[in-house]
Each structure stands twice: as structure tokens, then as C-alpha cells.
Amino acid sequence: MSKIITFINMKGGVGKTTLSVNICYTMAKLYDKKVLLIDMDPQMNATQYILNDEQVRTILNNSRNSICGILSSSELLPSVVQGSSENETYTYIYQVYNNFDIIPSHLHLMSLNLNERPLRLKQFIKDTKLNEKYDVIILDCPPTISGYTRLSLLSSDGYVVPMKTDYLSFFGLPLLENYISSLKKDFEKELEFIGIILTMVRENWNIYGDVKSLIKHNMEWNRKLFNSELKAKTVIEKALSPENKKKNKSYIIELGDNEIEQQMINITQEFMRKARI
């Protein structure tokens, strides 16, 4: 059975999508894991990171080719994985790499009422047996507490908090913790806090040490803090250049920077160990 993990933070711009996409790709390419990424953010950042322009246009032209087709339908929609020879699953699943697929998002996700069926995504994963096909399913959430995050967390076994070392990111931790505690209580839901991953790290900035120290003063957060971190480097910011995307070089382990490649590998290994994948 798949491990289903939500990547979540209440603050935007913390490297959450970059981290979730690259952990998925690294697991698939280096560790032969079967991975599905579900983009739950109507901004479509993970979708645009992964898919080419033609695929994105196809999705935008028909929201049924996205997570919207799943959440707005009361029935299953059998079809074909795009880019694959298999005939057992759905048009809204696109193949990224040999064993890495994505269910893309769509702008119309904003217009769906997700409060009426909070367990819709969980039921879909079970009914389609996606939890039997993949080793891990990652849900990339928008930076907000909303129906998207509730739907994702209620479908998940656990969650990861990617976090930039600044004060606003830190202030959001207890708010997120309170929200998840309420959700677990209201729905009698088991949900494992897998860990905090520091991203966009600048070790020479005083604020890095200050925020990390604040995290470590909380016994639970300190226990959940990943040892592995991802530095802020220009090469990551340039990863999505048209040239890199055309050459399929937009993933961190393909950028040719040995330092951040090793950091990404270390993060992925620690993630798999902590999530027991």
C-alpha cells in the first residue's frame, strides 16, 4: 500500500513545490520508487514545473484532464495514462518519468466547493486502487488553510512541513499545528507529523541560526527537524528556464551542481527513512 504524504505550509515562497517535485523525481530515478504527485494548488506550480507547454495547454483547455475532473465528478472516468502504454487508469494522470506520474491541477479548482465532500479524494484513491499502484503519493498543497488542504490531509497518512528560515515561516508553525490538531479531532484522523525540512538555507545569515534555535527549543519540533537541508542557490532559481525544461534538466539532481545534488539526495533518503517508504 502507498504512503500518502501531504506537503504543507501556511506561508508561500518557502520552496514547498520545488521540494515536493524534486523528492518525487529523486525517489523515482535513483531509488526506483513508483511515485504519484497530486497537485492540489490551483496556482498549478507543480504542474507547470513538471509538464511541458503543450501538456499544460491541454489541461487548461479542459479541466477534466486535471484534479478538477476527479473532485467534480461523482463517477470514475477510466482512460489512459498520458505518455504510457498502460490502459488501466485515467486521462488526468500524466507520466513524467518511467515510474513518476502527476495528476495536474487547474485554475478552476478555485471554483469548486470542496467542503461538501471532504473525503472525496481519499475515496477516489481507494476506489481506483492508486494506493496499490504506487509506493508513495505526494500531495502538494497551496500555502493556505482551505478546502484543498483539508481534502489533502484527510487523504494522507502524514505530512511534511517545508520551511524557510525566516520569522514569518516560524510564526506559522503553531498555527498549522493547531489546525491539524483540530482536524484530527473533528474527523478522528490519524496523521503522522513526518518532519520539518529547511529550504532556501543561507547559513551565513544570522536569521538562519536564530530561527533554527527557536525550532530546537520546542522538543517536538526539534525531534521532527530533518538533519538534511537545501541551500539557496541561483542554479535552483534558474532550474525552470526554457532551456533547462527543453533538455529535461529542471530537476535538482540534473542541474550539474554537485553540492545541491547531494543535498537533494540526502533529503530524499531521510524522507524515505522517516516516512518508511
The model's confidence at residue 77, banded by pLDDT at 50, 70 and 90, is very low
- Paired with 94 in beta bridges are 82, 102
- Rounded to whole angstroms, how far apart are CA atoms 248 and 52? 10
For range 15-29, the mean pLDDT: 95
For range 64-82, the mean pLDDT: 65
User: Are 124 and 16 spatial neighbours (Cβ–Cβ below 8 Å)?
Assistant: no
pLDDT of 34 > 90? The answer is yes
Q: What is the pLDDT of residue 71?
A: 83
- Paired with 160 in beta bridges are 7, 195
Q: What is the pLDDT of residue 5?
A: 98
**Which of 38-42, 102-106, 126-130, 231-235 bottoms out in mean pLDDT, i.e. has the lowest?**
231-235
Q: What is the pLDDT of residue 185?
A: 94
- Rounded to whole angstroms, how far apart are CA atoms 228 and 256? 19
- What is the end-to-end Cα distance of the chain in Å, rounded? 10
For range 94-113, the mean pLDDT: 87
Q: What is the pLDDT of residue 119?
A: 87
- Reported as a single tens digit per residue, the pLDDT across 79-98 is 434 444 444 444 789 999 88
Mean pLDDT score of the chain: 87
pLDDT of 24 > 90? The answer is yes
For range 7-34, the mean pLDDT: 92
- Paired with 39 in beta bridges are 140
Percent of the chain clearing pLDDT 90 (strictly above): 53
pLDDT of 117 > 50? The answer is yes
pLDDT of 78 > 50? The answer is no
**Which of 82-86, 212-216, 258-262 bottoms out in mean pLDDT, i.e. has the lowest?**
82-86
Copy the grid coordinates of residue 253. Answer: 539532481
The model's confidence at residue 31, banded by pLDDT at 50, 70 and 90, is very high
Q: What is the pLDDT of residue 236?
A: 83
CATH number assigned to the domain with residue range 3-275, chosen from the 4 options 1.10.357.20, 1.10.1790.20, 3.40.47.10, 3.40.50.300 = 3.40.50.300
197 or 166: which carries more pLDDT confidence? 197
Q: What is the pLDDT of residue 183?
A: 94
The model's confidence at residue 62, banded by pLDDT at 50, 70 and 90, is confident
Give which of 127, 124, 175, 117 is closest to 150, Cα–Cα: 117
- Reported as a single tens digit per residue, the pLDDT across 181-202 is 999 999 999 999 999 999 988 8
195 or 166: which carries more pLDDT confidence? 195
List the domain boundaries for the chain: 3-275
CA trace torsion 240, 91, 106, 234 (10° rounding): -10
Q: What is the pLDDT of residue 115?
A: 74
Copy the grid coordinates of residue 277. Answer: 517508504
- Rounded to whole angstroms, how far apart are CA atoms 202 and 208? 7
Q: What is the pLDDT of residue 182?
A: 95
